[in-house]
């Protein structure tokens, strides 16, 4: 999340007058950056994770687990503590950073400074994550716990789900039937984002997730907890229309009622908080230069949905079990500011483009100019701002990067502060970031900020946060190593980007890891040397993870001979991760081959192997995803009435179980390896 300016945010009516101003100056700012850093090269691998927590307040007497709305206080306290540690201790201790997030119950933490490519840094990740959690935990009330949990099961359910209680009647920004105003971070940016998305769209956001039909779930399912007769906001009466649905068979909830409201057989969500109030795990990598950043960005695009499915962790929404396991489409819908014209529901008359996706969605364009990136792969519709495209091209920027930026810049700025309308485009990137950072895609291509020595970066954004730091470290380490394998072996993961989108939809379905197949490339190698002889070829093994591997020229005889559609097939998750036949070693096989090129101490290697083993066991089904584990916990709870309802007491027991699992107090043999010992033991200190 970007810097939080203190200032006066404009209402949508005022802000939209400045949309072209923000875009024009945003592009000027980008071009100024481009001119300075387009040839910047030789930057080493730096990388870091972002972990998001929800602070849960336990009420043991009433068996209720609620969201603690003390973000502001907690962050102030953590900020002061962090300053103390900084002042008191020597500089070898890297103190973590805590950031606000959309939900007033959320915290985000990052390592105090990015990790390098050293193997010891890789092995520090879990410890660092635990330190961050434990430091936060120390500054909570005794009945509060910091959970890395993707979606809070009873957000927006009847009864009290926040501490303190607030009535959703006061939801002036979102007009939600379910979420009070106070669920949102009170900083002006967040209520303004919420309100301006609703105003720009012309209606409340509307998300309908298919319900999970259990033995006693009523059919058709008509949600009795929706306050149909409320009459406070214009949307309350009349616009809430219960449509009978034929959409359930498509299973994944892109279904949208014509009048923007609730569907039968679905869980209806009507506010930004349902999506932006979710927690996730993100990773950012610095590349050697812009060429490598574009290459890495592309290679990680098809990996996005695979990792979403593997990290699936959000099967409960507004107190009901859903037929989906992931947050992605909920967030996409929760910030979908497109008008009816832009969504293609009405012919274009006021608006400029039909836009197929929300500003929060999967990537639409591969970016690399490398020979591997065949034009046929970019097969998604791509509305662009033509004026901006021409301006970028006239400045000498190539077609693909110009299209990428011009595609981001079809969006309007949603939050404009009156104090920062006029900026120095030589020194600021704020207008550029206004558009860039409200395009929330599976990958983000991050140009260096002005006045810094930061390089070109790529952010991997699809993963759901896991219950334990062991798992979060495991998935992080896996992606870091995969990113190196991609560069070291010059791997080719390209498939048509429309197929990546098919995978995105499948990834979110219930139990996708076990029951779905995903499109993946059959031959990921760019020459005919088998992996085994390549990986044993280095005479001296490398002592660290590196950037800056040369890209070999295209093979001489006919790399474009085959049709694009012959290059990929549908594979199971097990095949994608663990290999298929002689020719495809799987993503874990590639990572293992890359590890062989490194000089890693045996005990360190064992630790890395244990992380990879967790990923392997999730992918072959011998361990459950968090989503499956959570669903099974609910379904086997004595109070569960087999009607899809996750009661206050079930939720309370679930939150306690999750905390105990994290601390190693409770075993979860279906979720974690036998030897998992929990987060309490070695989280006490942190030396870099
Ligand atoms: P945002 O919320 O904008 O995505 P954050 O600042 O919260 O970004 O987190 C960015 C992550 O990038 C952190 O983990 C941080 O450690 C890491 N990071 C910082 N500087 C660099 C860099 N030069 N290269 C790579 N990663 C970096
Ligand atoms: Mg965040
Ligand atoms: Mg962040
Ligand atoms: Mg963020
Ligand atoms: Mg930021
Ligand atoms: Mg981020």
For residues 301-328, give the mean pLDDT.
98
457 touches ligand 1 (CB under 6 Å): yes
* CA–CA dist 46, 288 (Å, integer): 10
Q: Taking Cα atoms as reference points, which of 467, 475, 463 lies closest to residue 507?
A: 463
Q: Taking Cα atoms as reference points, which of 205, 325, 172 lies closest to residue 274?
A: 205
| Cis-peptide into 220, omega within 30 deg | yes
From 3, 50, 437, the mutation candidate for ligand 1 (largest count of ligand atoms within 8 A of CB) is 50
| Tens of pLDDT, residues 353-397 | 999 999 999 999 999 999 999 999 999 999 999 999 999 999 999
275 touches ligand 1 (CB under 6 Å): no
Q: What is the pLDDT of residue 687?
A: 42
| Tokens found for residue 89 | 């201790």
Alpha carbon nearest to ligand 1 atom 20, residue = 114
The alpha carbon of 527 and the centre of ligand 2 are apart by a number of angstroms equal to 39
The alpha carbon of 2 and the centre of ligand 5 are apart by a number of angstroms equal to 4
DSSP secondary structure code for residue 628 in this structure: H
User: Could you give the C-alpha distances from 112 to 98, 365, 661, in angstroms and in order?
Assistant: 9, 32, 26
Ligand number nearest to the C-alpha of 97: 1
pLDDT for residue 490 is more than 70: yes
**What percent of the chain lies above the pLDDT cut of 70?**
91
315 touches ligand 1 (CB under 6 Å): no
Alpha carbon nearest to ligand 1 atom 1, residue = 1
The alpha carbon of 50 and the centre of ligand 3 are apart by a number of angstroms equal to 6
**Any idea of the CA torsion for 305, 463, 298, 528, to the nearest 10 degrees?**
-70
3-class secondary structure, 72: helix
Alpha carbon nearest to ligand 1 atom 26, residue = 47
* CA–CA dist 47, 82 (Å, integer): 21
Contact 181, 201 (CB under 8 A): no
User: Could you give the C-alpha distances from 656 to 21, 104, 242, 357, in angstroms and in order?
Assistant: 50, 21, 36, 37
* CA–CA dist 425, 265 (Å, integer): 51
| Tens of pLDDT, residues 351-363 | 999 999 999 999 9
| Tens of pLDDT, residues 41-79 | 999 999 999 999 999 999 999 999 999 999 999 999 999
The alpha carbon of 297 and the centre of ligand 1 are apart by a number of angstroms equal to 16
| Tens of pLDDT, residues 434-453 | 999 999 999 999 999 999 99
| Tens of pLDDT, residues 72-118 | 999 999 998 877 776 665 544 578 999 999 999 999 999 999 999 99
Confidence of residue 520 (pLDDT cuts 50, 70, 90): very high
| Tens of pLDDT, residues 277-289 | 999 999 999 999 9
pLDDT for residue 238 is more than 50: no
| Tens of pLDDT, residues 524-567 | 998 655 565 555 455 689 999 999 998 778 877 656 668 999 99
Where is average pLDDT lowest: 235-239, 323-327, 339-343, 595-599? 235-239
pLDDT for residue 420 is more than 80: yes
Q: What is the pLDDT of residue 534?
A: 59
Q: What is the pLDDT of residue 688?
A: 36
Contact 50, 111 (CB under 8 A): no
Name the maximum alpha-carbon separation found in the chain: 74
Q: What is the pLDDT of residue 529?
A: 57
Q: What is the pLDDT of residue 261?
A: 81
For residues 480-487, give the mean pLDDT.
98
46 touches ligand 1 (CB under 6 Å): yes
pTM of the model: 0.95
Q: Taking Cα atoms as reference points, which of 585, 475, 448 lies closest to residue 523?
A: 585
CA atoms within 13 A on the CB side of 263: 20
558 or 168, greater pLDDT: 168
Contact 342, 329 (CB under 8 A): no
3-class SS string, 484-497: HHHHHCCCCCCCCH
* CA–CA dist 579, 140 (Å, integer): 45
The alpha carbon of 221 and the centre of ligand 2 are apart by a number of angstroms equal to 34
The alpha carbon of 4 and the centre of ligand 5 are apart by a number of angstroms equal to 10
On the 0-12 / 13-18 / 19+ scale of CB atoms within 10 A, 38 is middle
On the 0-12 / 13-18 / 19+ scale of CB atoms within 10 A, 421 is middle
49 touches ligand 1 (CB under 6 Å): yes
* CA–CA dist 112, 132 (Å, integer): 10
48 touches ligand 1 (CB under 6 Å): yes
110 touches ligand 1 (CB under 6 Å): yes
180 touches ligand 1 (CB under 6 Å): no
* CA–CA dist 174, 176 (Å, integer): 5
pLDDT for residue 167 is more than 80: yes
Where is average pLDDT lowest: 85-99, 312-326, 395-409? 85-99
Confidence of residue 686 (pLDDT cuts 50, 70, 90): very low
292 touches ligand 1 (CB under 6 Å): no
Q: What is the pLDDT of residue 235?
A: 86
Q: What is the pLDDT of residue 249?
A: 37
For residues 151-158, give the mean pLDDT.
98
3-class secondary structure, 11: coil
For residues 610-639, give the mean pLDDT.
98
User: Cα angle vertex 547, ends 541, 549, to 5°?
Assistant: 75
Q: Which helix (H) or strand (E) holds 475?
A: helix 469-488
Question: Rounded mean pLDDT of the chain?
Answer: 92
* CA–CA dist 141, 66 (Å, integer): 13
Where is average pLDDT lowest: 159-163, 425-429, 462-466, 581-585? 581-585
Q: Taking Cα atoms as reference points, which of 247, 330, 653 lies closest to residue 508?
A: 330
Where is average pLDDT lowest: 47-51, 178-182, 234-238, 343-347? 234-238
On the 0-12 / 13-18 / 19+ scale of CB atoms within 10 A, 638 is exposed
Confidence of residue 248 (pLDDT cuts 50, 70, 90): very low
Q: What is the pLDDT of residue 54?
A: 98
Alpha carbon nearest to ligand 1 atom 8, residue = 1
pLDDT for residue 508 is more than 90: yes
């Amino acid at each position: 999340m970007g810097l939080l300016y203190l200032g006066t945010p404009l209402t949508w009516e005022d802000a939209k007058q400045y949309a072209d101003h923000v875009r024009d100056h945003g592009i000027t700012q980008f071009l100024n950056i481009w001119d300075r850093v387009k040839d910047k090269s030789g930057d080493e691998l730096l990388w870091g994770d972002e972990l998001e927590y929800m602070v849960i307040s336990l009420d043991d007497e009433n068996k209720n687990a609620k969201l603690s709305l003390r973000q502001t206080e907690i962050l102030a306290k953590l900020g002061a503590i962090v300053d103390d540690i900084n002042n008191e201790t020597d500089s070898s201790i890297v103190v973590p950073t805590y950031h606000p997030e959309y939900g007033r119950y959320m915290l985000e933490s990052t390592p105090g400074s990015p990790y390098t490519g050293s193997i010891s840094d890789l092995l520090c990740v879990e410890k660092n994550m635990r330190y961050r959690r434990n430091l936060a935990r120390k500054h909570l009330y005794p009945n509060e716990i910091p959970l890395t949990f993707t979606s809070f099961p009873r957000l927006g359910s009847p009864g009290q789900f926040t501490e303190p209680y607030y009535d959703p009647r006061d939801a002036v920004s979102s007009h939600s039937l379910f979420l009070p105003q106070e669920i949102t971070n009170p900083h002006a940016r967040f209520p303004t984002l919420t309100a301006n998305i609703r105003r720009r769209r012309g209606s409340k956001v509307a998300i309908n997730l298919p319900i999970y039909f259990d033995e006693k779930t009523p059919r058709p399912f008509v949600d009795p907890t929706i306050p149909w007769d409320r009459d406070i906001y214009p949307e309350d009466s009349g616009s809430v229309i219960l449509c009978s649905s034929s959409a359930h068979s498509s299973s994944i909830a892109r279904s949208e009622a014509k009048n923007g409201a609730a569907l039968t057989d679905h869980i209806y969500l009507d506010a930004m908080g349902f999506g932006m109030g979710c927690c996730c795990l993100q990773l950012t990598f610095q590349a050697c230069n812009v060429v490598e950043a574009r290459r890495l960005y592309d290679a990680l695009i098809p990996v996005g949905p695979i990792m979403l499915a593997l990290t699936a962790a959000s099967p409960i929404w507004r107190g009901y079990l859903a037929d989906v396991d992931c947050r992605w489409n909920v967030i996409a819908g929760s910030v979908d500011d497109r008008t009816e014209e832009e969504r293609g529901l009405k012919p274009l008359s006021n608006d400029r483009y039909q836009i197929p996706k929300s500003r929060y969605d999967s990537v639409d364009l591969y970016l690399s100019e490398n020979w591997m990136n065949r034009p046929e792969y970019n097969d998604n519709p791509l509305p662009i701002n033509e004026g901006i495209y021409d301006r970028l091209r006239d400045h000498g920027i190539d077609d693909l990067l110009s299209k990428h930026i011009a595609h981001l810049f079809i969006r309007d700025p949603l939050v404009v502060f009156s104090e920062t309308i006029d900026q120095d485009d030589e020194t600021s990137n704020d207008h550029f970031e206004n558009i860039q950072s409200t395009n929330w895609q599976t990958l983000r291509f991050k140009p260096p900020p002005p006045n810094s020595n930061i390089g070109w970066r790529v952010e991997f954004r699809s993963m759901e946060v896991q219950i334990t730091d062991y798992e979060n470290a495991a998935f992080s380490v896996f992606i870091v190593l995969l990113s190196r394998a991609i560069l070291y072996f010059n791997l080719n993961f390209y498939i048509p980007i429309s197929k990546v989108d098919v995978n995105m939809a499948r990834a979110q379905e219930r139990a996708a890891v076990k029951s779905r197949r995903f499109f993946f490339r059959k031959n990921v190698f760019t020459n005919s040397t088998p992996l085994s002889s390549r990986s044993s070829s280095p005479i001296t093994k490398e002592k660290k993870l590196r950037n800056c591997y040369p890209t070999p020229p295209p093979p001489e005889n006919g790399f474009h001979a085959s049709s694009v559609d012959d290059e990929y097939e549908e594979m199971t998750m097990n095949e994608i991760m663990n290999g298929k036949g002689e020719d495809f070693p799987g993503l874990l096989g590639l990572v293992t081959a890359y590890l062989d090129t490194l000089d890693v101490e045996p005990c360190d290697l064992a630790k890395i192997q244990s992380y990879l083993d967790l990923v392997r066991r999730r992918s072959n089904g011998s361990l459950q995803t968090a989503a499956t584990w959570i669903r099974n916990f609910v379904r086997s709870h004595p109070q569960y009435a087999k009607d899809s309802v996750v009661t206050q007491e079930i939720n309370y027991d679930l939150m306690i179980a999750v905390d105990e699992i994290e601390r190693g107090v409770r075993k979860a043999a279906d979720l974690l390896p036998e030897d998992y010992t929990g987060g309490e033991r070695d989280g006490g200190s942190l030396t870099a």
